[in-house]
Structure 1
Amino acid sequence: MNDHHDHHGTHSDLHSEQGALRGEHPGRAANPIIKVHDIAWLEFQKPDLAAAETFAQAFGFATSLRTRDELHLRGTDAGAPCVIVRRGPRSQYLGAAFTAAEASDVLRLAEATGATSKKLPETIGGMGVDLVDPSGASIRVVADTHKLPSLPAQTPLTFNAGHEMVRANQTQRPLRQPATVQRLGHVVLQSTKYRETLDWYLHHLGLIVSDFLYYPGQRERGPTMSFIRCDRGSTPTDHHTIAMTLGPTNRYVHSAYQVADIDALAAGGELLRDLGYHRSWGIGRHIQGSQIFDYWRDPNGFLVEHFTDGDMFDCTLEPGWAQMTASGLAQWGPPATKDFLGMTPGRESLRELASMVTALRDDNEFDFMRLRGLMKVATS
């Protein structure tokens, strides 16, 4: 800590008890190509669009487009849909789209990468450029897409906090109904080339790191997870728009969708449980990002999160640093489940186990020492 204090002079620019040591990753690129404004939507492929829509509406999405081969799911905020589902033979995550701050940024990014900008389908509108990150994940940066009008939002409850009385002669009776989704908040991805992929996002999209995590006893080897936000200068943005973690496979981990408040989240969870859907982990409050969370599995096994009350940072805050532990994922709430950690016996955990063997043979960042660190995280 002394080393850190000497480096920064004061702790006024930190949100964490611990900042970078001298020579550690700065958490941002010196000269990014562009700075994206926000995450726009995620794309999935699923064989059964009817089942996907049934769960989505129980989860709190509204349907903005439904054809034989395509399903668009939206929140109440104006803008693009949150999720686009395409009909296909098997379930898979297809990629993420980010909104450019200016249309000219799409052209600048295309020119810098040698990619071609193109008109997007009429169902979305606008233009975009398609890229692939070092982990193989598809990334699309878009501009001038059709803007869906806002929908009526769920009204947050009024709270009497301690002795501060703002509600009198009125009861609290939140309905057991879907927790109306307002917007897409973030996506979490796992990468076998974590550091290379992290630097790619910082350089190409102008994202900046809010928090770094490192494996127990391995700080000197560098971080293994980062929570990354958009850089809108003095305008605060979500603590993370994308989070990235080192692992034995390149895969989607989860995505998160904002709801009005904790009662909307909890009552909506009761409804999902009544309908027979599987809660993966929750309800609790995270440490990095501070969100109140509740995680669910959709019928295709994808992990999705309701969240509310997340941290918002502007560009001035420096990255926090912390040790990665399973118990350090939440301030309060039940312990992280085996399902959430991907350790429940079944096809997914067997796939992850097999991929560990493959990853140790391949030329990537997931080596035997990192495997030991990951095992320590799961039991800590």
Structure 2
Amino acid sequence: MDEHHDVHTGLHSEHGGQPGEHPGRARNPVIKVADLAWLEFEKPDLAKAERFAHAFGFVTALRTTGELHLRGSDPTAPCVVIRHGPRERFLGPAFRAAEATDLRRLATATGREVTRPPDTIGGRMVELPDPSGLRVRVVADPHPLSALPAQPAHTFNFGHDPHRINATQRPPREPATVQRLGHLVLQSTSHRQTLDWYLEYLGMIVSDFLYFPGQRERGPTMSFIRCDRGGEPADHHTLALTLGPSNRYVHSAYQVADLDALAAGGQYLREHGYRHSWGIGRHIQGSQIFDYWRDPGGFMVEHFSDGDLFDNTLEPGWAPMSASGLSQWGPAVTQDFLGMRPGRESLRELRSVLTALREDNEFNLNRLLGLLKVARS
């Protein structure tokens, strides 16, 4: 039956799991994080990174010889912290604790200490590795940032209920205004172990599971997980984890006001010579309108708008993974987005496949065949 599953129907099932399958949440998590706080990168050229950031829609919150903080218009911590270093690399995410007292609870459970981030950020934090070795920080009380002017919302004449009379619609072709950091996607060779770690220690819960076609009995291979804020709705996914031949950053996503902001901002990026990856379209899991770009270092970043919000009552949906199932509408998914574009990225991933198949992890030959089937679908 799964082989003929139509990914464009039943986009989310409140009770999609079968007996014995992963429940999508831990029974008694150590803490429950409230959101992503920021992402940290290392780059050799901060000036080039800042130029792209401004074209993408960030505002510089701090710039020193060794550090660059990029923010959106929302009154939160910086979305991105970039440190000067010898090469392009993702350093890890920081999550915001729901309560400052959660840091002590997390430190005790993991044998870590509560420490202080750099003075440029402030607050307190616990730093620990996830099962893939990625550095994860959980933070509380960083230096506050005041709100910036938001991109004005448009007035639409949709259907038979017009609101714009004797006025035109002329969205300027300018950078979209990033509002906030939305989510992070990571690839891991140990999907189940990494997923369980985030559920157990950070209290996150699964919104949707995907599995390789014909391999549901082997368990999920992608998990879209959200913060558990009880009755307060949270983004469909704050973190997404996917099984693959290497442990790596896949992409991060930043919210903008609406489709016009996303499209006009994309046109601005295109005119300034930046590399488009995929879009514009609308996702299935999460429902976001999306548009993907590559920064000068090759990292994939996403503009998104109009995403789903779930409270903690919704159980995980289950669906087979497919390339065509990545969007409800939009252009066909690109080789660049799938990591198959000829070049350094695809060669690096091929080498990772050969390495992973020789090691003891979840990415075995059956999983490779499943992944190839996804890419052809």
Global fold match (TM > 0.5): yes
In the alignment, which residue of structure 2 is the partner of 1:40? Answer: 37
In the alignment, which residue of structure 2 is the partner of 1:221? Answer: 218
In the alignment, which residue of structure 2 is the partner of 1:378? Answer: 375
In structure 2, stretches of 5+ residues that fail to align are 2-10
Picking from 342, 345, 349, the partner of 1:345 is 342
How far the C-alpha of 1:17 sits from its partner, in A, is: 7.7
For 2:202, give the aligned amino acid.
Answer: L
SS where residue 146 of structure 2 aligns?
coil
Picking from 169, 192, 203, the partner of 1:206 is 203
The question of whether the paired residues in 2 share the 8 Å contact of 1:59 and 1:178 is answered with yes
In the alignment, which residue of structure 1 is the partner of 2:80? Answer: 83
In the alignment, which residue of structure 2 is the partner of 1:129? Answer: 126
Q: How does 1:218-297 map to 2 (within 5 A)?
A: 218-297=215-294
Runs of 4+ in 1 over 2 A off after TM superposition: 14-18
In the alignment, which residue of structure 1 is the partner of 2:5? Answer: none
Q: Greater shift after overlay, 260-269 or 115-124?
A: 115-124
In the alignment, which residue of structure 2 is the partner of 1:103? Answer: 100
Structure 2 Cα separation of the partners of residues 335 and 323 of structure 1: 18
Matched, 1:162 2:159: yes
Picking from 112, 115, 128, the partner of 2:112 is 115
Encode CA deviations 1:79-131: one digit per residue, 9 max, x unaligned. Answer: 10000000000000000000000111011100100011101211111000001
In the alignment, which residue of structure 1 is the partner of 2:321? Answer: 324
In the alignment, which residue of structure 1 is the partner of 2:332? Answer: 335
For 1:372, give the aligned amino acid.
Answer: L
Matched, 1:366 2:363: yes
How far the C-alpha of 1:15 sits from its partner, in A, is: 3.7
Q: Greater shift after overlay, 214-223 or 17-26?
A: 17-26
Structure 2 Cα separation of the partners of residues 243 and 159 of structure 1: 33
For 1:49, give the aligned amino acid.
Answer: L
In the alignment, which residue of structure 1 is the partner of 2:351? Answer: 354
Matched, 1:49 2:46: yes
The question of whether the paired residues in 2 share the 8 Å contact of 1:119 and 1:126 is answered with yes
Encode CA deviations 1:152-190: one digit per residue, 9 max, x unaligned. Answer: 000111111111111111110000000000000000000
For 1:45, give the aligned amino acid.
Answer: E
- TM-score of the superposed pair, with normalisation by structure 2: 0.97
In structure 1, stretches of 5+ residues that fail to align are 2-13
Matched, 1:184 2:191: no
SS where residue 43 of structure 1 aligns?
strand
SS where residue 124 of structure 1 aligns?
coil
Encode CA deviations 1:207-234: one digit per residue, 9 max, x unaligned. Answer: 0000000001000000000000000000
Structure 2 Cα separation of the partners of residues 320 and 68 of structure 1: 46
Query: Superposition RMSD on alpha carbons, in Å?
Result: 1.0
